[in-house]
A and B are shown apart, each in its own frame.
Chain A
Amino acid sequence: MKMQPKAEMAQLGGKQTALLLKPGVLQQVLAFASLIVLILVFTFSSSNFFQFSNIVGILLSTAVTGVLALGSTFVIITGGIDLSVGTVMTLSAVMTGVFITYWGLPVPLGIVGGILTGAVCGLLSGVMVARLKIPPFIATLAMMMIAKGLALVISGTKPIYFNDDPVFSEVSQGSFFDEIIPGFAIPNAVVIFFIAAIIGSILLSRTIVGRYNFALGSNEEATRLSGVNVNYWKIVIYTITGIFTGLAGILIASRLNSAQPALGSGYELEAIAAVVIGGTSLSGGKGTIVGTVIGALIMSVLTNGLRILSVPQEWQTVVVGIVILLAVYADILRRRKA
């Protein structure tokens, strides 16, 4: 599996090699190659793998952690971390349930409310990190527990169902594509994930937010001394992470047609894993949205493929752990060479 990407690299000679050798690009090529290799391996190992329904299943299971990972990418590029995305997602789902089911608000308003919940949590984390100078790990650990507790308190520890508004479940489970091309039933959740990725990618590479995001992660002091309001932009970035987290809350609530207050813990680690596999450096300054998307896909292809090969769930977790180790170690090796 490790040799394959190199062989691919060798074929792309000439001018392109220079471009590919740039660290960020190379990391993406490696991650993408690993994804292809994984898909090939599973396709040859089981005829059940490369079926339309299975691929759709993989994409659907990527959507929620994928959107969380998109948000996490922003914070991680600053050199920070957000441990609260799992439970803030749950809190957003619960609040959406409160808005739609308990208060009877229209679905679009409920969705906006859910996303705002995530945004507010992100904003608070950002204020704790930027203004109160609490280390991101601690600030978001606190936020993780606060959100977890609030989700349980507000819901009364019981799931909130969206049975009164069947439209809401369409947000994830319905297929907008199926209506245009019958039979091509890609769930909306997947489409939303990819649209979110495109928006995230534009934010990161084309806007002032993205520029300061990288600048902060690369050398915060230099950025501050250049007259950039570092604290303000940090809060903006944590809020962006919160918005993506809120969106993930909507997706999971819609997919389960309910807000499950006990769900959510552990999602943050899967999101971080996807970001890291995608080549974003935990020390900040480097990373891409495309990488994160690939990282998220690698995680779910791996889980799905192993399940099809009847590898017990416990062992799947072990394999995922090893893959994270390999991805990060490959990154360290390459950096040492450069």
Chain B
Amino acid sequence: MATVILLTVTGLGLGALYFLIASGLSLIFGLMDVLNFAHGALLAVGAYATWWAASGHLPGAGSGGFGFVLAVAFGTAVGTAAAALLELALIRPLYARPREQVLATVGVGLAVPALLSAIWGADARPFPTPKALSGTFGLLGARIPVNRLVLAAAALVVLVALKAFLRRTRYGLIVRAGVEDRAMVTALGIDVRKAFTLVFALGGAAAALGGALGGVYFGSVDPGQGTSLLIFAFVVVVMGGMGSLTGAALASVAVGLVQQFANYYTTAGLGDLSVVVLLAALLLLRPSGLTGRLA
């Protein structure tokens, strides 16, 4: 029983990490038809910025208490800025050429991790974790690491915040309308490009937050981390139905749980494979994804 609970909570934590990446990917794809291959790079940027700040380079930030919150905020801010910069500098000049946009993000996705490993080395760096997050607590006889809960809580907050943004604000309305029919929104005289930058920045913020918390989850940062997580985030986005936040949330929980349980009860690595098998099975049964949106 204790094992099952631990596996469930760990699976939820991993699923939360996937959701933080996939939410941005899904929104960006839904609105702009851009498969953002640089999303993993944004995650790595967030993780390294947090690590840099928490290692004592940023005054006020540190590896404990409020200092760590500041470090995470700094990492998220850097990731947001990087995403906005990416959109303005590279994606915007290539509007109406979706394939070139994808290719440009592929280039960035290759170059940024290489740059990070040029500066800080290709090896994993230990991530300074605050004491409050490195402990465990008891739940029905299982010792559960606190950081799993923090990840799940962060993902939940991001989900609720993004939902509220999409439902309650004017820009959210534009984004939702743009996902439905971009040409019509433009024809109504609304400048969708601002919404593009905004969605990119939001997605970058979520990914960078995922990078910072992923550093806590894995206990280290390395340049290739984002790219390997990105592939599972892609699986989540396809399974959830592209452009759907709720679908992405459901799919990321499913993927995280399946991966954890299969990795534990069968040989290690089989969990990663079973996720892909799950994807194939789902595509055979429902080609449009869990929530039935058009892929």
- A and B associate: no
Residues of chain B having any CB pair with chain A under 8 Å: none
